[in-house]
Amino acid sequence: MPELPEVETVRRGLLKIAAGRKISGIDVYYGKTITNDVEKFRQALIGQTIVTVDRRGKYLLFRFTNDLTMVSHLRMEGKYFNQPIGGPIDKHTHVVFEFTDGSELCYHDTRKFGRMTLVKTGEEMTVGGLKTIGPEPTANDFTLPYFKAILAKSRGKIKPFLLNQRHVAGLGNIYADEVLWMSKVNPEQPANSLTDQQIRDLHDNIIKELARAIEYKGTTVHSFTNAFGDAGAFQNQLNAYGHAGDPCPRCGTKMVKIKVAQRGTTFCPHCQPLEND
DNA sequence: ATGTCTGTTATAAT
DNA sequence: GATTATAACAGACA
């Protein structure tokens, strides 16, 4: 499901339904979700309290007492929700954290792509994609000179470039299409061939659009819900993603859907022409 | 039914 | 390295 705005929305929900709770038991129904030895994972966390939940890119960082951090990535369809201990466990609920207050936190993941990894706090940057993750998409961390410099070094198409989390953290398929549409950049344009204006617009739009989507509590197009089971509201703000065949909101030209790097990609052929020099 | 599609990324291959 | 294809998995849809 989630790109950065959805993960941030989940994080904020987790602060309310999980932070401050002490773990009394853990049930694991699908062991591959946990990359550690499952028994060691359980023994390390039972008795610990969730102090807070942080986020880096699309990764959630559960901070526990005893200097433990659980890195959790939801991949396509991971979800967290809470219920009273003993509530229904369906076939897609893979991990359940029981709390001493009588509630439990369930991890549900239809496609089973999501992963959790427990490390000592401070070692989270050794986990998976956090090893090479790029700057957060904020004005402070993601600077224009940095963006210019990495674009200049890449010969590949701009859309897969933006999806690569080592360049900038947080964009996924929806927001990549949105910021390219907003910036009038063709998704197949070579990264090192963008004009100065396009680079400035893209930089600006990445920062602003992700922040705006957080305000709307994320985008629900397929299955995303926050920790309370609510849909986001940003799907009504989308201009490109999901609008193939519709008129472009800017010029009225019929929007087109193609495949770029194996991902469905919607754009306006008039506003976002491929510039070949 | 069989093939195509899906908010991702680790891994292998080139 | 940088870039590209594939695998991991389940379900909805035509």
pLDDT tier, A143 (very low <50, low <70, confident <90, very high otherwise): very high
Distance A112 CA to B10 C1' (A): 14
Query: Nearest protein residue to C2's C1' (by CA)?
Result: A154
pLDDT at A225 over 80: no
Rounded to whole angstroms, what are the CA distances from A272 to A146, A184, A206?
A: 24, 5, 17
What CA–CA distance (Å, rounded) separates A80 from A234? 20
pLDDT exceeds 80 at position A11: yes
Contact in structure between A205 and A179 (CB atoms under 8 Å): yes
Question: Is A111 among the annotated ligand-binding positions?
Answer: yes
* CA atoms of A36 and A192, how far apart (whole Å): 40
Q: Is residue A235 scored above 70 in pLDDT? A: yes
| pLDDT over threshold 70, residue A277 | no
Per-residue HEC secondary structure of chain A comes to CCCHHHHHHHHHHHHHHCCCCEEEEEEECCHHHECCCHHHHHHHHCCCEEEEEEEECCEEEEEECCCEEEEEECCCCEEEEEEECCCCCCCCEEEEEEECCCEEEEEEECCCCCEEEEEECCCHHHCHHHHCCCCCCCCCCCCHHHHHHHHHCCCCEHHHHHHCCCCCCCCCHHHHHHHHHHCCCCCCCEHHHCCHHHHHHHHHHHHHHHHHHHHCCCCCCCCCCCCCCCCCCHHHHCCCCCCCCCECCCCCCECEEEEECCEEEEECCCCCCCCCC
Rounded CA separation A178/A266 (Å):
9
Domains belonging to chain A, first-starting first, are 4-130 (3.20.190.10), 144-267 (1.10.8.50)
Confidence of residue A230 (pLDDT cuts 50, 70, 90): confident
The residue among A219 and A57 whose pLDDT is bigger is A57
Q: Which residue has the higher pLDDT, A221 or A96?
A: A96
Q: Which residue is nearest to nucleotide B11 (CA to C1')?
A: A128
What's the one-letter identity of residue A235?
Q
- Tell me the average pLDDT of chain A: 96
**Can you tell me the mean pLDDT for A205-233?**
88
Asked if A219 CB < 7 A from strand B, the reply is yes
Using pLDDT thresholds of 50, 70 and 90, give the confidence band for residue A246: very high
pLDDT in tens, A167-194: 999 999 999 999 999 999 999 999 999 9
The answer to the question of whether A12 is labelled as a binding residue is no
Residue with minimal CA–C1' distance to B8 is A75
The more confident residue out of A75 and A225 is: A75
Task: Look at residues A123, A90, A103, A95 and name the one whose alpha carbon lies nearest to residue A21.
Answer: A103
Q: Is the CB of A156 under 7 A from strand C?
A: yes
One of A12, A208, A212, A263 is an active-site residue; which one? A263
Mean pLDDT within A24-47: 98
Give the C-alpha separation, A60 to A105, whole Å. 15
pLDDT at A53 over 90: yes
Confidence tier at A153 by pLDDT (50, 70, 90): very high
Which of the pair, A162 or A227, is modelled with greater confidence?
A: A162
CA of A247 to C1' of B8 (A): 29
- How many Å apart are A191 CA and C3 C1'? 13
Q: Is residue A217's beta carbon less than 7 angstroms from any atom in nucleic acid strand C? A: no
Mean pLDDT of the region A198-220: 96
pLDDT for the residue numbered A222: 74
Nearest nt to the CA of A58 via C1' is B8
pLDDT over 90 percentage in chain A: 93
Amino acid at A130: L
d(CA A98, CA A87): 11
Please give the angle made by the CA atoms of A252, A255 and A259, to the nearest 5 degrees. Answer: 165
Tokens standing for residue A228: 């309370």
How many other CB atoms sit within 10 Å of the CB of residue A121? 14
pLDDT at position A1, please? 65
Residue A58 designated active-site: yes
Q: Which of residues 110-139 of A touch strand C (CB under 7 A)?
A: 110-113
pLDDT in tens, A65-112: 999 999 999 999 999 999 999 999 999 999 999 999 999 999 999 999
At A251, the pLDDT band (50, 70, 90 cuts) reads very high
Please say if A249 is a catalytic residue: no
What is the per-residue burial (b if ≥16 Cβ within 10 Å, else e) of A216-251?
A: ebbbbeeebbbbeeeebebbeebbbbbbeeeebeee
